[in-house]
Amino acid sequence: MPSSTSNFDFQRPIPALPWRGLLLSALLLTTLAAVAWELRARALGYAPDLNDTSDLWADRREAVQPDSVVLVGDSRMLFDMDLGVLEQGLGRRPVQLALVGSCAYPILENLANDESFHGTVIASLVPAMWLAPPPAPPYKNSVRALKRYHERTVAQRAGHHLGMLLEEHIAFMKQDDLTLEQLLKDVNVPSRALYHAPPRLPPYFATIERDRQTRMIPAAARPGPLQDRVKNGWIPLFTPPPMPAHTPKFVFEQIAQATEARFGQTAAAVQKIRARGGHVVFVRFPHSGALKELEDKATPRDGIWARLMQETGAPNIYYSDYPELIYDCPEWSHLSAPDATEFSQRLVPHLKTALTK
């Protein structure tokens, strides 16, 4: 006996509706919503600009040649270096591989393990961030970028290049500020038992180009609400909440071991590059205000910095040793665009001296 459903033939009726009009209405509403959101974003101070994605970073890593000058480090290296000025002074346009909020050691290690690389590495070193262990966000930021560099697909490359075309013309395409996920994170949830509200990350306050030349926008360089928000965000970011009381002892031991190992790892990476005829120079960039007081207290120069310089034997430049390199950072951590150009000009002679050692 045949099944009552085996030959069941169902055709869903298509309602007789004005589909062309509905399509045009949907397109019109979508366009109006996008235009309204774009106007709102621009009114809030946003402008068309690239997102500093792992794909953009991977583009620059692929641009590294065996004899390149490569910049690695944190956001101070990213904001404070004028690539054009360095190109004029050093004879080659540097490849910018610094990452916001990152530990630069994995990038240095990657270059050290690249047997073809025998160029120059100029590294920004913020002591606490350089020693960040693998579980910490600064370390993960660098690992994430390297993973994208090694593993990205053809589809991801195509999507990246299409995205850049849109980002360069549309202001609301800000992945760190204006996505639904990020807007939800901005909802103020107060700390309570067993929950510590994470510190707010800095908002959009810089522009970035395809070669990752980064500049602070004027609104952040002058006193005002944006500068205040950026400035007041550093202290919570540099003083994370304590580990929960129930954290097992072995976790602290593992973190201490990883931190201690970083000194030898850094020295080994520097030696690999120098053994191939390359150079590594460490730079401590300007910082000021309450953030400088906090960093100087938590990581004084005669601590992590001094030990790393001793164990690596690498030439180094500590900005406060040279009056011409001392600047007041508008928001305590980075230089304004004009100051970054001037600072780069003043730094070049010191870099040239360091590269002869």
Quote the pLDDT of residue 52.
Answer: 94
For helices 137-151 and 105-112, angle between their N-to-C axes, nearest 10 degrees: 40
Taking residues 158-169, report their average pLDDT. Answer: 94
**Bridge partners of 123?**
72, 282
Higher pLDDT, 212 or 2: 212
Look up residue 113 and give its two tokens.
């393990």
Whether the predicted pLDDT of 5 surpasses 90: no
> E strands, the chain, where?
69-72, 95-96, 120-124, 206-208, 214-216, 279-284, 316-318
Q: Which helix (H) or strand (E) holds 71?
A: strand 69-72
Q: How far is CA 231 from the centre of its chain?
A: 17
Taking residues 326-352, report their average pLDDT. Answer: 97
Whether the predicted pLDDT of 7 surpasses 70: no
**Bridge partners of 216?**
206
Whether the predicted pLDDT of 352 surpasses 80: yes
**Mean pLDDT score of the chain, rounded to an integer?**
90
Higher pLDDT, 229 or 117: 117
Q: Which of 15-24, 36-45, 75-84, 196-205 has the lowest mean pLDDT?
A: 196-205
Secondary structure of residue 1 in the 3-state scheme: coil
Quote the pLDDT of residue 285.
Answer: 98
Q: Which of 10-24, 124-138, 194-208, 306-320 has the lowest mean pLDDT?
A: 194-208
Banded pLDDT at 79 (limits 50, 70, 90): very high
Domains plus CATH for the chain? 54-179+204-354 (3.40.50)
Banded pLDDT at 237 (limits 50, 70, 90): confident
Tens of pLDDT, residues 96-112 = 999 999 999 999 999 99
Quote the pLDDT of residue 247.
Answer: 73
Whether the predicted pLDDT of 186 surpasses 80: no
Whether the predicted pLDDT of 195 surpasses 60: no
pLDDT above 90: percentage of residues in the chain? 73
Q: Which of 41-55, 173-187, 275-289, 306-320 has the lowest mean pLDDT?
A: 173-187
Model confidence, pTM: 0.87
- In one-letter notation, the amino acid at residue 145 is A
Whether the predicted pLDDT of 90 surpasses 80: yes
Report which of 274, 288, 280 is spatially closest to residue 351, judged by C-alpha positions. 280
Quote the pLDDT of residue 17.
Answer: 83
Taking residues 167-178, report their average pLDDT. Answer: 87
Whether the predicted pLDDT of 197 surpasses 70: no
Higher pLDDT, 328 or 10: 328
Secondary structure of residue 329 in the 3-state scheme: coil
State how far the alpha carbon of 154 is from the alpha carbons of 6, 125, 145, 148, 328, in Å.
44, 34, 17, 12, 44
Higher pLDDT, 127 or 173: 127
Q: How far apart are the first and last CA of the chain?
A: 93
Banded pLDDT at 253 (limits 50, 70, 90): confident
State how far the alpha carbon of 262 is from the alpha carbons of 237, 257, 268, 269, in Å.
22, 9, 10, 10
Whether the predicted pLDDT of 357 surpasses 90: no
Quote the pLDDT of residue 254.
Answer: 85
